[in-house]
Structure 1
Amino acid sequence: MSSPVVAWFREQARDLPWRRPGFPAWGTLVSEIMLQQTQVARVVPRLEAWLTRWPTPADLAASPPSEAVRAWDRLGYPRRALALHAAATVIAEQHGNVVPRDVDALLALPGIGDYTARAVAVFAYGDRHPVVDVNVRRVLARALLGQGEPGPAKAKQDLRLMESVLPADRDEAAATNAGVMELGALVCVARAPACDACPIADRCAWRAAGYPAHDGPRAPKQARFAGSDRQVRGLIMAELRASDVPVTVDEVALVWPDAEQRARALASLVRDGLAEGDDASGYRLPRG
Structure 2
Amino acid sequence: MRLSVAAERQRRRRRCAALMQWWEAQRRDLPWRRTRDPWLVLMSEFMLQQTQADRVVPYFEQFAAHWPTVELLARAELAEVLSAWQGLGYPRRARNLWHTATLVTQRHGGQVPADLEALLALPGVGPYTARAVQAFAWGLDAGVVDTNVGRILARWFGSRLALAQAQRAADVHVPPGESWSWNQAMLDLGAKVCTKRNPRCGLCPVQRWCSWAGSDAPDPALRSAGVSARQAPFEGSDRQARGRLLAALADRDLDGADAAIAMNLAHDAQRAERIVAALVAEGLASTVERRLRLGSRAPDSFP
Taking structure 2 as the reference length, the TM-score comes to: 0.86
The alignment of Structure 1 onto Structure 2 pairs a total of residues equal to 277
Letter in 2 for 1:186: K
Matches of 1:194 and 1:232, distance apart in 2: 37
Pick one of 242, 255, 261 that aligns with 1:248: 255
**What pairs with 1:181-200 in structure 2 (closer than 5 Å)?**
181-200=187-206
In structure 2, the gaps of 5 or more residues are: 1-14, 299-303
The answer to whether 1:7 aligns with 2:21 is yes
Matches of 1:215 and 1:119, distance apart in 2: 27
Matches of 1:211 and 1:97, distance apart in 2: 53
SS of equivalent to 1:205: coil
Q: After superposition, what is the alpha-carbon deviation per residue over 1:59-87, rounded to whole angstroms, capped at 9, x for unaligned?
A: 00111111111111111111111111111
Matches of 1:211 and 1:44, distance apart in 2: 39
Q: Which residue of 1 aligns with 2:270?
A: 260
The answer to whether 1:269 aligns with 2:282 is no
Letter in 2 for 1:163: D
Q: After superposition, what is the alpha-carbon deviation per residue over 1:122-160, rounded to whole angstroms, capped at 9, x for unaligned?
A: 0011111111110001111112x224xx46xx2321111
Pick one of 114, 123, 128 that aligns with 1:115: 128
**What pairs with 1:128-139 in structure 2 (closer than 5 Å)?**
128-139=141-152
| Bigger mean CA offset, 39-48 vs 87-96 | 87-96
Please report the RMSD computed on the Cα atoms of aligned residues, expressed in angstroms.
1.9
Q: Which residue of 1 aligns with 2:163?
A: 155
Matches of 1:60 and 1:213, distance apart in 2: 46
Q: Which residue of 1 aligns with 2:30?
A: 16
Alignment CA distance shift 1:187-1:211 (3 Å): farther
In structure 1, the gaps of 5 or more residues are: none
Alignment CA distance shift 1:215-1:139 (3 Å): closer
Q: After superposition, what is the alpha-carbon deviation per residue over 1:154-184, rounded to whole angstroms, capped at 9, x for unaligned?
A: 23211111123222x212x332222112101
Partners of 2:38 and 2:112 within 8 A in 1: yes
**What pairs with 1:160-179 in structure 2 (closer than 5 Å)?**
160-167=168-175, 169-171=176-178, 173-179=179-185
Partners of 2:74 and 2:98 within 8 A in 1: yes
Deviation at 1:196, TM superposition (A): 1.5
Letter in 2 for 1:73: Q
